[in-house]
Amino acid sequence: MSSSKVLIIVGDATETLDTMYPYYRLIESGFQPVVAAPEKRRYQMVLHEVKPGWTITKEWEGYSIDADIAFSDVCEEEYAGIFFSGGRAPEYIRYDENLVRITRYFFEVNKPIASVCHGVEIPAFAGCVKGRRMATVPKCRFDLEVCGGIFVDEPCVIDRNLVSGRTWHDNGHYVAPWIKLLESSRTGSL
């Protein structure tokens, strides 16, 4: 039986709904979400939306969230899965060498992985998306494809142990299949 702990990757400007919906769904399913970030401190989340009449994303401050652990202190073997949240944070935190180490581990051992929106920038930078089908927000399509991934414009894309959605609007589509993978992994039926 594997751990019930699941990493949620955040940084400043992580999208609030991208993060909080899976966080509470994990708790409902008997998992312990563990928020990991560059440092163990409080992070400011944001709300993202393309307003009617706008062609770019508008951003507002959302709730804040405390990181339970710094990337440098994560022992990835202790976790059942990982979630890459969206927002602007992935653009900045993807260069953290410990986050790259953590990311590569989950892909190498095929533990359940979920990604939404800009979250794709982390596994793309870590060199983990080559040949993998993923959903992401259309403006991150380049990041995925230039790193060898395959962009799919659907609310839920499942590629082996990787489940992805485009934006928080897809939360109701991709989070449940990811949690099912975690449950299967926990019982050893994955």
| Domain limits, the chain | 5-187
Q: Which of 48, 118, 169, 173 is catalytic?
A: 118
pTM of the predicted protein model = 0.95
Dist. CA 27–CA 25, nearest whole Å: 5
**C-alpha angle 154-155-160 in degrees, rounded to nearest 5:** 80
48 counts as catalytic: no
Residue-wise pLDDT for 85-141, tens only, equals: 999 999 999 999 999 999 999 999 999 999 999 999 999 999 999 999 999 999 999
Contact 117, 140 (CB under 8 A): yes
Dist. CA 7–CA 138, nearest whole Å: 25
Q: What is the pLDDT of residue 3?
A: 82
> How many CA atoms within 13 Å lie on the side-chain side of 82?
31
Dist. CA 111–CA 108, nearest whole Å: 8
Class of 5-187 per CATH? alpha beta
